[in-house]
Structure 1
Amino acid sequence: MTKNVPAANGFSDDRVVPAEWEPHQAMWLGFPSHENLWQEDLIPAQAEVAALARVLAEAGDEQVKLMVMGDAARKAAEDMLGDLKKVEIIDGKFGDIWFRDTGPIYVSIDKDGKDHHAARPISFLNNGWGGKYHLKYDDQVAAQITTADGHASELHEFILEGGSLDHDGFGTVLTTRQCLLNPNRNPDWTQSTAEQALAEALGAKKIIWLGDGLLNDHTDGHIDNLARFVAPGVVACPVAFGVDDPNAEIYDATAKFLSQQTDARGMPLQVVRIPSPGKTLDEDGEIIPASHMNFLIANDCVVVPIYNDRPGEMAVEALQSLFPERTVLGLSSEAILTGGGSFHCISQQVPLIRA
């Protein structure tokens, strides 16, 4: 199941995924580059990603690494962001911009048992979100990122997308059975084998298993649309907005279940409810999985995807109370959502780990 790095490299198995609110060395973003995928939404999606990159660089104190594919995409990115020193535009190859899922997950590894740590990117196999979206070059994204970062990498030979997990920095992991135990990923996985695989690869000490994710979520219920750690022992999840919110029962069941759980330290979880965007439809009138939970935590700010004004403003206000030392900002993500995700989905942070 796992291709491990030899013990001779000096790393032990004492590893953990740092919480997203811990300091970052850099933030990777994917820039919409494929007209055949985005069609009339290409330029609006590029503008939204550029706005995100600008906020991350200016308000978030992030070194942004923006990967583009092709000359046209590079020119568009340069026209929008060429004046920002903290945004590095990098040529690469990718199927689409969902780097949370196709990129590596960084862990902190105790090198010698003396609290000397190193960052290490952990990579996984990719099968196009259960075979639904096979896109050329997506299976090369993780290798390109790790090569550019100059870190030694480690491949684990099972299917995993980063958006299916959320981490508290102490080895507690949130996930959903709908995604992680879906036979379209790893058909031989049981809950026990999944827990063992995540312990070996990411240092997971406790998995908190939720059931289903949002209605019509093509990722089969990624957790980063449903519930997120915002501090040790504190989890945010949505509360329905409007009487016709199609995910109202899922939100309530999630909050009730989480309020009965403890984390890897044995501490009870505190659950905070954040207003959802409410019922959100695409141009064909179909329900789409819009979520304010797809926020992105940067060094000095938190960026919340906004799809309509009122619930978006309420979500920003609610999250600001949870991040008093960061500025919480709302940005439009309507065009990005047409591709199936939002800000958290298109990003991957590189932790700053001090040896």
Structure 2
Amino acid sequence: MATHTQPQPHNTHFIPAQHGFFFPAEWHPHVATWLSWPHTEASWSSERQEKMFPAYIDFIRTISESEQVCINAHNETVIQTAKMRLLMAGVDLSKVTLLPNPTNDSWCRDHGPAFLINPTSKERLIVNWEYNAWGGKYPPYDRDSLIPVEIAHYRKLPYVNPGIIMEGGAVEFNGKGTVLTSRACLLNQNRNSHLTQAQIEQYLCDYYGVQQVLWVEEGIVGDDTDGHIDDTVRFVNEDTVVVATEPNPNDDNYPFLQEIRQELNEMRLVNGKQLNIIELPMPDPVISEGQRLPASYANFYISNGAVIVPTFRCAKDQTAIDILESCFPDRKVVGIDATDIVWGLGTFHCLSQQEPAID
């Protein structure tokens, strides 16, 4: 990395945005996708974990068809177990890199690194946000909080430490200066209670390289993250979003999603344009042991070659796939049954973090 922009781990005064760094949109070409292999009962009991692995491995296989998959694996035993499962499922191991990075849980979107790029200088860096497992809900999280630095060392990339809590699922980018997020999450007292909304906006602008922060109010029922945006609103190109929609006024999600839809109507992008808004249905409620789970088609993941959509064994699955096919004509849209995965309170976007390439 060029010395004139080289940040040092201890240098809290390096502001990435001031040096041309930004977080690109998810459809920007990837070097790899990062995952953290499930190995504990933190999110799935042993029985549930066995049921979710076929879909999880199908997810890995689909990503690996167009890019490398890098997986944080807790220890050598986990690495060998993962290799065995992948081989038995016919996954090409040359497209998978298993690294001995200890983890507490599997939600790499939130504990993984935020990769920034600078297309002008052809440089990359990692933002090492603080992490507290969604407001301290699921200790321990000490290993997960170290993952960005472990990956920075592995990739030989510099990193910066903003010093505040942030999660990848809480922010959604169009790659052209805009980030979407929710007040329910980022303004929650269990994250950064010492910061005002304006101060959080400044951190987002400084460390993600955006020019504006657009806020919705809430998330969906069953979401233990306090309202991550990746279950409700996603950019599909720089001026178009899909928004989760619930037409049934008796459904618990109805008022929250109606409010989000109205908020989106009033938003304007950096260039003054109004958002193009495409409605994406919510699946039928997914209930487990009396608990409503945060099932949402909006939790899709965009890889180099595919858009991978969680499905939930209901009639709306194909409708959601059809809508997303119209949004991504350059990629195949693949539905994978996430009914057993969502028991862990997240699906494919929550499990993954992209590593962008430099143009």
TM-score scaled by length of structure 1: 0.91
SS in structure 1 at match of 2:84: helix
- Structure 1: gaps of 5 or more residues: none
Q: Distance in 1 between matches of 2:281 and 2:53?
A: 27
| Cα distance, 1:167 vs structure 2 | 0.4
| Cα distance, 1:120 vs structure 2 | 1.2
Q: Distance in 1 between matches of 2:156 and 2:343?
A: 33
Matched, 1:108 2:117: yes
Contact 2:249 2:255 in 1 (8 A): no
1:141-160 deviation per Cα after TM superposition (whole angstroms, max 9, x unaligned): 11122222221111110011
Change (3 A) 1:344 1:124: same
Task: Give the letter for the 1:339 counterpart.
Answer: G
Number of the residue aligned with 1:46: 53
Number of the residue aligned with 2:185: 179
Pick one of 324, 328, 334 that aligns with 1:319: 324
Change (3 A) 1:304 1:172: same
| Cα distance, 1:206 vs structure 2 | 0.6
My pick for the range that moved more, 30-39 or 338-347, is 30-39
Task: Give the letter for the 2:325 counterpart.
Answer: Q
1:128-173 deviation per Cα after TM superposition (whole angstroms, max 9, x unaligned): 2111112241111111222222211111100111110000001201
Number of the residue aligned with 1:90: 99
My pick for the range that moved more, 302-311 or 34-43, is 34-43
Pick one of 311, 318, 329 that aligns with 1:306: 311
* Number of equivalences: 345
Q: Distance in 2 between matches of 1:26 and 1:210?
A: 30
SS in structure 2 at match of 1:32: coil
Matched, 1:205 2:211: yes
My pick for the range that moved more, 45-54 or 65-74, is 65-74
Matched, 1:258 2:264: yes
Task: Give the letter for the 1:42 counterpart.
Answer: Q
Pick one of 15, 31, 51 that aligns with 1:25: 31
Contact 2:284 2:316 in 1 (8 A): yes
Change (3 A) 1:250 1:10: closer
SS in structure 1 at match of 2:71: strand
Q: Distance in 2 between matches of 1:270 and 1:191?
A: 26
| Cα distance, 1:6 vs structure 2 | 6.3
Contact 1:242 1:278 in 2 (8 A): no
1:23-43 deviation per Cα after TM superposition (whole angstroms, max 9, x unaligned): 001100122111465221122
Contact 2:236 2:242 in 1 (8 A): yes
Q: Distance in 1 between matches of 2:347 and 2:180?
A: 19
Matched, 1:193 2:199: yes
Q: Distance in 2 between matches of 1:19 and 1:128?
A: 24
Matched, 1:150 2:156: yes
SS in structure 1 at match of 2:295: coil
| Cα distance, 1:211 vs structure 2 | 0.2
| Cα distance, 1:46 vs structure 2 | 2.5
My pick for the range that moved more, 305-314 or 96-105, is 305-314
1:61-106 deviation per Cα after TM superposition (whole angstroms, max 9, x unaligned): 0111122223443233212323512112222201101111111111
Q: Distance in 1 between matches of 2:354 and 2:334?
A: 18
Number of the residue aligned with 1:334: 339
SS in structure 2 at match of 1:185: helix
Change (3 A) 1:37 1:267: closer
SS in structure 1 at match of 2:223: coil
Contact 1:241 1:311 in 2 (8 A): no
Matched, 1:296 2:301: yes
Matched, 1:234 2:240: yes
RMSD of aligned C-alpha atoms? 2.1
TM-score scaled by length of structure 2: 0.90
- What are the residue-to-residue correspondences of 1:67-82 with 2, within 5 Å? 67-82=72-87
SS in structure 2 at match of 1:224: helix
Q: Distance in 1 between matches of 2:43 and 2:148?
A: 21
Change (3 A) 1:245 1:106: same
Contact 1:81 1:87 in 2 (8 A): no
| Cα distance, 1:14 vs structure 2 | 2.3
- Structure 2: gaps of 5 or more residues: 1-8
Task: Give the letter for the 2:129 counterpart.
Answer: F
Contact 2:16 2:206 in 1 (8 A): no
Task: Give the letter for the 2:60 counterpart.
Answer: A
1:236-279 deviation per Cα after TM superposition (whole angstroms, max 9, x unaligned): 11122656532122222212221221112222111100111132
Number of the residue aligned with 2:224: 218
Q: Distance in 1 between matches of 2:36 and 2:42?
A: 16
Contact 1:306 1:330 in 2 (8 A): yes
Task: Give the letter for the 1:131 counterpart.
Answer: G
Identity %, equivalent residues: 32
Pick one of 21, 24, 27 that aligns with 1:15: 21
Change (3 A) 1:272 1:183: same
Number of the residue aligned with 1:285: 290
SS in structure 1 at match of 2:318: helix
